[in-house]
Amino acid sequence: MQTVNRLDLLRNSVAAFRANGETLGLVPTMGALHEGHLTLVREAKSRADRVAVSIFVNPTQFGPNEDLDAYPRQLAEDSALLQAEGVDLLWAPDAATMYPVGYATSISVAGVSDNFCGASRPGHFDGVATVVCKLFNQVRPDFACFGEKDWQQLAVIRRMARDLDLVAPYADQIIGIATVRESDGLAMSSRNRYLSPASRKAAAALPHAMREAITEIENGAEPGPVLALLHQAILDAGFTSIDYAALADADTLEPIDSRVYAPARLLVAARIDGTRLIDNMPVCPPAGTNG
């Protein structure tokens, strides 16, 4: 595996693959790798001759009071994991390489960025869209893999790729990978390591409560009262605050306030032990609902 932290070296490595006619998949990450990330890597490997992984803790997607400084950085350990997976190229730029003095450009994806994490983390998706656009331009992959755990992020990136003609044939080449979960159902996340053992155990109540709510909605219950009970169940489990626990259209991320008529998503962001966790799951319209 080649590890590069300069743009000219990255371009040389990519050019060498392309000179051999090889296809290239990209897996963007912020490091602190776990089985969720490695699942993305394996999917990319199954689809391409070569796989590049980026590790960059992107400062522009963190708010002023968020965990940028605390975010785990463990390049040597991550590098060993990627090497063992047979990754070809690790792109690990520093902040000055990504945002040199005078840097002035930002990408904003209207609509799909507006609600949920976009509302509770102002500017977050501008930071994500901008850095992902830069990564696509730097690596020029044939496709890129992202996790469904960050469902809204995936929708924002698909919209951007389509709108800016980034990865041909556009949104189809943004591959979404199902959320990888711990054995008790909690979605894997680099931030789970912030939790005390007791909070980590309590956090598993979140996906269970979400599944129960979804079953009721899919069986025809009114979403409003079901979501109110879900809020209470999340707080009862030991979460201290909820940014949102709501339904949205699966593609446009428009909030759904009444009945579900088309494929939807239940999206949750809530804090436990000072750590903000997110999760989401599919919701089908109840049988007999006119779509």
Ligand X SMILES: CC(C)(CO)[C@@H](O)C(=O)[O-]
Q: Is 83 annotated as a binding residue?
A: no
Taking the complex as a whole, the smallest distance from the CB of residue 216 to ligand BAL amounts, in Å, to 29
State the binding partner of 187 from ligand X, ligand ATP, ligand BAL, none, CB within 5 to 8 A by kind.
ligand ATP
Residues 181-200 that bind ligand BAL (CB under 6 A): none
- Which residues, including other chains, have CB under 8 Å from residue 67's CB and lie 6 or more apart? 191, 194
8 Å CB contact between 153 and 125: yes
Alpha helices, DSSP H, located in the chain: 7-19, 35-47, 75-84, 95-98, 117-120, 124-139, 151-163, 197-203, 205-218, 223-236
Task: Please name the residue that has the structure tokens 């436990």.
Answer: 272
Amino acid letter, 23: T
Q: What is the distance between the alpha carbons of residues 115 and 112, in angstroms, rounded to a whole number?
A: 7
> Binding-site residue total for ligand ATP (CB under 6 A)?
18
Rank residues 29 and 173 by Cβ distance to ligand X and give the closer one: 29
Query: Looking at 14, 24, 30, 283, which residue binds ligand ATP (CB under 6 A)?
Result: 30
State the binding partner of 36 from ligand ATP, ligand BAL, ligand X, none, CB within 5 to 8 A by kind.
ligand ATP
Backbone angles phi, psi at 179, to 5 degrees: -60, 130
- Residue 44 near ligand X by CB under 6 A: no
Query: Looking at 48, 51, 107, 128, which residue binds ligand X (CB under 6 A)?
Result: 128
State the binding partner of 132 from ligand ATP, ligand X, ligand BAL, none, CB within 5 to 8 A by kind.
ligand X
| 37: annotated active-site residue | yes
Rank residues 13 and 91 by Cβ distance to ligand BAL and give the closer one: 91
Angle at 247 between CA 241 and CA 252, to 5 degrees: 120
Residue ranges that bind ligand X, judged by CB under 6 A: 28-30, 58, 61, 128, 131-132, 150, 153
Q: Annotated binding site for beta-alanine, which residues?
A: 61
